Amino acid sequence: MHIPDGFLDPKTWGTAWVLGGASIGYAVTKTKERLQERQVPFMGVMAAFIFAAQMINFPIAMGTSGHLLGAVLAAVTLGPWAASIIMATILALQAFIFLDGGVTALGANILNMAVIGVFAGYGTYLLIQRAWPNRTGTLVGTFVASWVSVVLASAACAVELAISGMAPFNAVFPAMLGWHVLIGIGEAVITTAVVSYLTQVRPDLVHQTAKA
């Protein structure tokens, strides 16, 4: 899902930089208001876990790749604002140090994975968890939300590639979604397993579960 340099035209990656940058800037403000001091070490652990998971890439098409996302896992444990910062930090490190994703395309990758992936997934999670306010609802919500976050982030990536003229929409969109529908299932299984464990040993680390 990482878009390399040269795959987006200036108007697309420029717009994505503005939208992604503004979103992360606001997330920093909200995180300062809401993040508790005891959560800071856990934020680092979560970032390291997701960073390692994302390093496993699957080539897809048009030079892009698929991988586990981790957006919902971060959002469910630390909240969506902190999750956005974690995801953006990971993407920046991957682009500048490991050359995984382009520098010019970093704004688009942040928009897709750190904004759309996080908030679409977390919104789905909240809808299900609040309609089903117990541990089972938390786990079902986590599973569905993880899949949704991966699929919608990949859909945004495909739209950006098509707008830039990199590939026809009717070619890149099915290719991206076809793979990420499957990757999303794997993401959902792994994320739900982790959240299931946390709800047993540290339910206070899972958003909404303690309230329920």
Highest mean pLDDT among 51-60, 66-75, 87-96: 87-96
Query: Residue 51 corresponds to which amino acid?
Result: F
Report the interhelical angle of 135-163 vs 71-78 (nearest 10°): 130
Q: Tell me the domains of the chain and their CATH numbers.
A: 10-205 (1.10.1760.20)
> Are 199 and 173 in contact, with CB atoms under 8 Å apart?
no
pLDDT digits (tens, 9 = 90+) for 102-136: 999 999 999 999 999 999 999 999 999 999 988 99
Mean pLDDT across the stretch 129-148?
94
pLDDT category of residue 212 using cuts at 50, 70 and 90: very low
Query: Residue 69 corresponds to which amino acid?
Result: L
pTM assigned to the model: 0.88
As a whole number of angstroms, the distance between CA 135 and CA 192 comes to 11
So what's the pLDDT on residue 62?
52
> Are 188 and 143 in contact, with CB atoms under 8 Å apart?
yes
Q: What are phi and psi of 66, to 5 degrees?
A: -115, 150
